[in-house]
Amino acid sequence: MLADPLNVAYLLAERRLLTFDSVVDGDFMVVDQTSRNRNLKVIRSNSPGFFIKQVNFPSPEYTQTLAREAACYGLAKQHPEFGAMRALMPEFHHFDSSKHLLIIELLDDAESVWEYHQRVRCFPAEIARLQGETLGSYHAQVRAAAAQGQAGVFARQIPWILSLHETNPSYFGSVSGGNAQLIGILQQYPEFEAALSGIKAGWNYDALIHGDIKWENMMLCRGVGDGEPPRLKIIDWEIADLGDECWDVGAVIQAYLTFWVFSLPLGGGAAVAEAVAAAPLAPESLKPALAAYWDAYAASRGLGADASRPALVRSMSCAAARMIQTAYESIQTTPQISPYALTKLQMSMNILRNPEAAVADFVGL
């Protein structure tokens, strides 16, 4: 049975997550946000709401990723050693493996970090520190060894983007024209192949990583009391895996760089230098935020002086690789590569050619 606005009250009541009295009293509203999965928001004014995610078409790929997300919620709720993980996740309520259905807390009083930066149009250091502290504390506490019992769920897969340059040209017809152009550029420059292969060769399996960190998946929730700082929650754990924590760390760096690229007025055939000069956000404004982010991460993660610099340089390389992925995903239906995707590709190449210099340029360290 698929969950829908007409039967969701019965579904929740059967699992003793609400009473029909609350429905009769009008404290119940359902918003359908179905996309790849069937997503329902259950909004309640007097009680916590629910977010219901269910696989629409139970293919092995979709059922496995939802099972992986459910495994993360189960670990966080049932095992004390995953307390740091539970602190940054919505509350877990129920998972039905036969119906491929997950029920978690609805974060209805929150905005994504992407929405927040769109609203404030700057890069506040306190939000950068919050991201670093949260991610560093999580990586410090939730190590790979603690999740070994879930080996059937966590497949130890290396991100697909690190092998994109190996795509056979005969497959170009199965992707968009824009994606085919992007892959062609990767294959045209040996620097891309060497750098991506280097990240893959040095891949570590030292932590249970989120794997899909981006500002759209990072939610700022209001503090408990007046004047309390916001709390950071992370959603969508479908790609979580035993892997390299620098991938998560670099993903946040990439989020800052990508947000800045999207602020550039690249329309009308403007050159990148002209767009940068006319941008509402100066590139120099990134540096204090990224420095605050890294300092907070390194301190929370417990990285000493000897380990901090190599971890930052590797995270910067991972940020560049993740930027290629963001560019690829943004043009999956376009006949040509967009100016924004091309700019991200150029920035990623500059970083991958010399990640040490990129650390100085973007982080100021």
Q: How high is the pLDDT of residue 18?
A: 86
Q: How high is the pLDDT of residue 243?
A: 93
pLDDT digits (tens, 9 = 90+) for 9-58: 889 989 999 887 777 777 788 999 988 889 999 998 888 899 999 998 88
Q: How high is the pLDDT of residue 332?
A: 94
Residue 228's pLDDT band, with cuts at 50, 70 and 90, is: confident
Domains 8-105 and 110-363 share a fold: no
pLDDT of 279 strictly over 80: yes
This prediction's pTM: 0.93
Q: How high is the pLDDT of residue 147?
A: 64
Q: How high is the pLDDT of residue 40?
A: 94
pLDDT of 238 strictly over 70: yes
Alpha-carbon separation of residue 363 from 26, 229, 261, 283 (angstroms):
51, 24, 16, 11
Q: How high is the pLDDT of residue 145?
A: 64
Q: How high is the pLDDT of residue 343?
A: 94
pLDDT digits (tens, 9 = 90+) for 155-169: 889 999 999 999 998
Q: How high is the pLDDT of residue 213?
A: 97
Tell me the CATH number of domain 8-105, given options 3.30.160, 3.10.20, 3.20.20, 3.30.200: 3.30.200
pLDDT of 269 strictly over 80: no
The side-by-side arrangement of strands in the sheet containing 50-55 is 29-32, 37-43, 50-55, 101-105, 92-96
Q: How many percent of the chain have pLDDT more than 70?
A: 96
pLDDT: which is higher, 338 or 225: 338
> Pick from 338, 200, 334, 205: which is nearest to 261 by CA?
338
Average pLDDT (324-345) is: 95
The domain limits of the chain are 8-105, 110-363
CATH superfamily of 110-363: Aminoglycoside phosphotransferase (APH), C-terminal lobe (3.90.1200.10)
pLDDT of 325 strictly over 60: yes
